[in-house]
Amino acid sequence: MDPRGMTWSTASIGICTLFVPVGALGGISLLFFVHPYSSFLLLHMYQARVVLTPYYTEEVLFSLHDLEVQNEDGVSILFYLQKIFPDEWNNFLERVKRSNEEELKGSDELEDQLRLWASYRGQTLTKTVRGMMYYRKALELQAFLDMAKDEDLMEGYKAIELNEDQMKGERSLWAQCQAVADMKFTYVVSCQQYGIHKRSGDPLAQDILRLMTTYPSLRVAYIDEVEEPNKDRSKKINQKVYYSALVKAVPKSNSSETGQNLDQVIYRIKLPGPAILGEGKPENQNHAIIFTRGEGLQTIDMNQDNYMEEALKMRNLLQEFLKKHDGVRYPTILGLREHIFTGSVSSLAWFMSNQETSFVTIGQRLLANPLKVRFHYGHPDVFDRLFHLTRVGVSKASKIINLSEDIFAGFNSTLREGNVTHHEYIQVGKGRDVGLNQISLFEAKIANGNGEQTLSRDVYRLGHRFDFFRMLSCYFTTIGFYFSTLITVLTVYVFLYGRLYLVLSGLEEGLSTQPAIRDNKPLQVALASQSFVQIGVLMALPMMMEIGLERGFRTALSEFILMQLQLAPVFFTFSLGTKTHYYGRTLLHGGAKYRPTGRGFVVFHAKFAENYRLYSRSHFVKGIELMILLLVYQIFGQSYRGAVAYLLITVSIWFMVGTWLFAPFLFNPSGFEWQKIVDDWTDWNKWISNRGGIGVPPEKSWESWWEEEQEHLRHSGKRGIISEILLALRFFIYQYGLVYHLNMTKNTKSVLVYGISWLVIFLILFVMKTISVGRQKFSANFQLAFRLIKGLIFLTFVSILVTLIALPHMTLQDIVVCILAFMPTGWGLLLIAQACKPLVQRAGFWVSVRTLARGYEIIMGLLLFTPVAFLAWFPFVSEFQTRMLFNQAFSRGLQISRILGGHRKDRSSRNKE
């Protein structure tokens, strides 16, 4: 029986002639006569399948320059790989019969082998193609085992391959095995920019052509843009025409006289216009899917790998398409687990590896059965190609809303009565981001995508068509986790502002004096337990269960303890802030965008300015706000509240504040090395003082970065602007509560006090504006007068301060409280000004707003940089950080200090010799 229920007739089985078209099946025209039964067996045992990989401009094959170029620390990719994989490097040198790196140079063949050795250990297209081509090799081996005679089996398929040239009169067995593999497997890489790279002479095109030459069954699809004469003769200007093209490599025997391998166009389809209208990656898949064939379609990403032993199981996996897993429907997506192979680089990579492993195994297993709400999360999944081609396809590519294009394929399949399953007996390799900045960019992209899912019609339709229990399961598997994370952080804000209200209104003091509440031991125990849980212990339970099921619970317990010692709670609490910020921003303003994370090697130091740009709005601003609330809560509640009660209430929030403020520096290689700190400070000062403008990137100027950070407000509607203003009003209410608790105003409740506080704020802003204008207009020509004005302003400020201290008895606590009250108020004014940018620009105050914002950025930078610089004075802090961050490498005997230190020591020792 055919998988679709069609019965083959005896006559068709008897003649069973297979015609293989040119190009689609390996570039040969083959009339294949074999035994009728074996041909029928092969057709049903191997379902036709294709692998599709979207590619843009990522690394294909490391060049020698890429391998040898050094970063600012003197570390090259080749040096890094030699230290990370010392045994494999020694084996490589032994295999090529050389003793060191220098002996490899000068020989084209050895240099090519060196490039391949390095590329197979990075996240390159070469590594992905090699891994996916194991499917074809496995098919050849399985076909040989099915068709070979006893004497051929004894010789082995390698001997049959070598004896192929000796078979002149009859078709060799090895050729038959290759023909079966060509019929049943193709690999299409959708290289969107291949045509442009080829015309411009980009080395990427040569590397891709080399891949096609190495693997003759590899096909490359690309979008070709050509200039053609306009059909309208009245218009002399040529028109740009777009084609979807599929190419293959031409063997040397059929190539030109130069002997070089060239590519040959197999198919060329004219498009009505530009193909990339929505998100780039799904559109890249969509234009190439027409060149695929067969019944199974496996979408593979650029950061994946495969293993020969797993490829041998693919024939068994495809048979799952013939089984009704819920007793009613055949599966439309076969879900696979992933093997994360990047877990041994650093502690962060280990955390991500364990987290991803628990999600793609025990998590997705539960979602598929019994919840029946598993969608498409990972690219190892195998699609029923015919089902999805007739139902929109495997990728929805609408701009912004389909940022997470993967899961929408699962939505489409489920909404159209498909069936998504999960299978554990086969896995595909997956590389994850291994540096904090890369991980944060990835989680920001996923959080943005979940925000757009929340606003999408697909989730709305799923919720309406599911029954109640499956709807709850769907919430859990889609937007529920991110929505719960947002609620968790909002609860912290509500909790602190509520506590601050109780303290400032006097209700907390009144309640604490009651014996029933003061001596309530069960309440204190509950507070202690929830604080312990908030640290994140429960979040690690699924991870422990997965490790325990696969490797034993003693191993799971030991790894859990080791993860705590390597500060895993710090990492996961920091990730909590990333998810919350980008998910909440997408809900309020929309505007999600793709964030490239890069696939490079990240044991390098990230500059302070880079960390500040990435985490300023998502973590630093929120962390400082929570810290101010905690300080005010402590100042006004310490007179009647015990230290134990305060600690039980706020310990988890203090932990979150410290994590959000300093985790980027804690998980930054060489983050506490003194020379790096000095260089970072110089770089940050240069960045904060540079002027922006057209063409100035955010990495070069604070002004350009600040303007870019407000892009989401420009594209937001009225609802987003109003919500931004309403959220900023909390700082004014906070100020209102504090000004009435100063020592000089505690006896009055007049609204005049609040008005005077605003007068002080506007006076401070006016003085700042005066100094700024004076610096721009008078500092060059009237330096003496400008300095006298600044001195006069300073003396006036000191006089007013002394008067306030002497007459109304202003205390030191009042000064601190005023700073804590007025600084957030100024930030609130900034937020409102940014939301109302067109009005502020028309009023002529935008330059003043930018100056005020720069002052706040400098203050925040100093608050963050000072503790880091202080810790950098002590050498043991840097040693502790290196050990904590690279403990996995230390356990393998790897000298991380040599990687972080680079070649400088090696070069100095060589010079001495």
Q: Compute how many other C-beta atoms are within 10 angstroms of the C-beta atom of residue 403.
A: 25
818-855 pLDDT, tens digit each: 888 889 999 999 999 999 999 988 988 888 888 889 98
CB 851 within 8 A of CB 845: no
Please choose, from the candidates 395, 205, 206, 212, the residue with its C-alpha nearest in 3D space to the C-alpha of residue 290. Answer: 395
Q: Which two tokens stand for residue 715?
A: 């594209």
pLDDT of residue 866: 93
What pLDDT does 332 receive? 93
Res. 169 pLDDT band, cuts 50 70 90: very low
Give CA–CA dist 165/172, Å, rounded. 9
User: Any idea of the CA torsion for 135, 138, 140, 146, to the nearest 10 degrees?
Assistant: -130
Q: Which two tokens stand for residue 71?
A: 């970063």
pLDDT at 447 over 80: yes
Give pLDDT tens digits for 114-153.
Answer: 999 999 988 889 999 999 999 999 998 888 888 888 777 7
Best mean pLDDT range from 150-154, 439-443, 520-524, 876-880: 439-443
Q: What CA–CA distances, in Å, run from 837 to 617, 670, 698, 834, 871?
A: 18, 40, 19, 5, 40
Q: Residue type for 547, please? A: I
- Give the chain's radius of gyration (CA, Å): 33
Per the model's pLDDT, the better-predicted residue between 199 and 883 turns out to be 199
Interval 250-273: pLDDT, tens: 876 555 444 455 888 999 999 988
Strands, E, within 330-488: which ranges?
A: 333-340, 382-384, 420-430
Q: Which of 832, 818, 802 lies closest to 761, judged by CA?
A: 818
Identify the weakest region by mean pLDDT among 246-255, 679-688, 711-720.
Answer: 246-255
Instruction: Kindly list the distances between the CA atom of residue 448 and the CA atoms of 282, 403, 457, 566, 622, in Å, as whole numbers in the listed order.
Output: 17, 8, 16, 29, 19
Q: How confident is the model at residue 245 (pLDDT cuts 50, 70, 90)?
A: very high
Note the pTM of the prediction, 2 decimals: 0.86
Which residues in 784-812 are b (16+ Cβ under 10 Å) and which e?
eebeeebeeeeeeeeeeeeebeeeeebee
The phi, psi pair for 61, rounded to 5°, reads -145, 125
pLDDT of residue 48: 77
Per DSSP, which regions of 514-572 are E strands?
A: none
For residue 860, pLDDT over 90 is answered with yes
Say if residue 25's pLDDT is above 80. no
Assigned token pair, 592: 């999600």
Most trustworthy range by pLDDT among 711-715, 723-727, 816-820: 723-727
Query: Structure tokens of 469?
Result: 């229990």
Specify the pLDDT at position 595.
72
Geometric angle at alpha carbon 462, from 461 and 463, rounded to 5°? 90
Residues 6+ positions from 804 with CB-CB distance below 8 Å: 744, 810
Q: Mean pLDDT for the chain? A: 80
Contacts 24+ apart (CB under 8 A), 102-110: none
Distance between CA atoms of residues 21 and 183, nearest Å: 10
Report percent pLDDT > 90 for the chain.
26
The closest alpha carbon to 380, from 332, 419, 334, 340, belongs to 334
DSSP letter string over 44-102? Answer: HHS--EEEEEEESS--SS--HHHHH-B-TTS-BHHHHHHHHSHHHHHHHHHHTT-SSSG
Q: Taking the C-alpha atoms of 792, 795, 799 and 802 in order, what is their torsion angle to the nearest 10 degrees? A: 160
Residue 20 or 233, more confident: 233
Q: Which residues contact 896 (CB under 8 A, 6 or more apart)?
A: 603, 882, 886, 889, 890
For the cut 80, the answer to whether the pLDDT of residue 790 exceeds it is no
Tens digit of each residue's pLDDT (9 = 90 or more) over 328-386: 889 999 999 998 888 777 788 888 888 888 888 888 888 898 888 999 887 789 999 99
In this prediction, residue 11 has a pLDDT band, given cuts at 50, 70 and 90, of very low
Q: What is the pLDDT of residue 43?
A: 44
- 332 and 383 Cβ atoms separated by less than 8 Å: yes
Dist CA 23 CA 832 (whole Å): 61
DSSP character string of 346-359:
-HHHHHHHHHHHHI
Please state, in angstroms and rounded to a whole number, the distance separating the CA atoms of residues 739 and 818. 7
Give 450-476 pLDDT, tens digit per residue. Answer: 999 999 999 999 989 999 999 999 988
Residue 767 has pLDDT above 50, yes or no: yes
Q: Containing H/E element for 32?
A: strand 30-32
Task: Please report the pLDDT score of residue 782 as a whole number.
Answer: 61
- 67-104 pLDDT per residue, tens: 888 766 677 788 888 877 888 999 999 998 888 888 88
- Choose among 216, 204, 146, 221: nearest CA to 180: 146
